[in-house]
Amino acid sequence: MTAFCRVLFVSCTLLMLSSCAVKTGQYSFREPFDEELEEPFHYWDLEFSTPRWFLNDHVDLAFNLGYGNGSDSGTLDTTHGEVHAQSAKLLEFRAAARWFPLGGDKAVVPYLGAGYGWYKYEMETKSQGDYAYSDYLYDYYEIDEDETTLSSSGFPFITGGVYVPFGEKKENAKLRPALQLEYRRDFEKSDQGFDLSGYQASVGLAFMW
């Protein structure tokens, strides 16, 4: 792809979007398959949405990229300091249609939605690699990393939330920041004996234009 095509692709993508948001929150599993997963995952979420093209400015499409950081266990002394020997993480992509019953220009903008997503749950294992150097007390080694996918599948979900814009919308303002609160419920999120169905609650900062 030439540089011109890349610029054209990015420009068209941005023109199709009406908002973006960065959110953080907790993910609780409905039926933890591991004692370490009884504690909620902490996760980050990047969201992009289209203009409300459908049903007279009441429905849009939202796309999310999510990263969840789960349980850690064990430690290793390495050239990078002390690191976790094992770390669980959850990667997600979601697409949803959202309905805004009050439209998008109110002081409070609630929405309900449903969609489909894909996830990958994996375990990153770090082990002692090649010898690096020694000091007076310890030998230090490089890190060998190995990632194992434990579970991966598609899943349906429902969502609901609210945007609370900061201040009144100004006529010539290009960006309108807002607080975003959101709740999600995932269904049939299971594969290879791992059931990651559960609930997400998040808070974030959104920019609408």
What is the per-residue pLDDT for 11? 45
Q: Is residue 107 part of a domain?
A: yes
For residue 128, which amino acid is it?
Q
Q: Is residue 66 part of a domain?
A: yes
Q: Is residue 6 part of a domain?
A: no
Q: Is residue 116 part of a domain?
A: yes
What is the per-residue pLDDT for 79? 52
For residue 191, which amino acid is it?
D
User: At 54, which CATH number?
Assistant: 2.40.160.20
Residues 113, 191: Cα–Cα separation, whole Å? 25
Residues 87, 73: Cα–Cα separation, whole Å? 7
pTM, 2 dp? 0.75
Residues 136, 181: Cα–Cα separation, whole Å? 53
Q: Is residue 60 part of a domain?
A: yes
Domain total of the chain: 1
Tens digit of pLDDT at every position of the chain (209 positions):
566 556 545 544 544 567 789 999 988 877 655 555 555 678 899 999 988 877 788 999 999 999 987 655 555 555 555 555 567 788 999 999 999 998 877 889 999 999 999 999 887 766 555 555 566 555 555 555 666 777 899 999 999 999 999 877 666 656 788 999 999 999 998 888 888 888 899 999 998 76
Q: Is residue 145 part of a domain?
A: no
What is the per-residue pLDDT for 121? 86
- Domain of 164 in residue numbering reads as 16-71+90-121+154-208
Pure H helices in the chain:
3-16
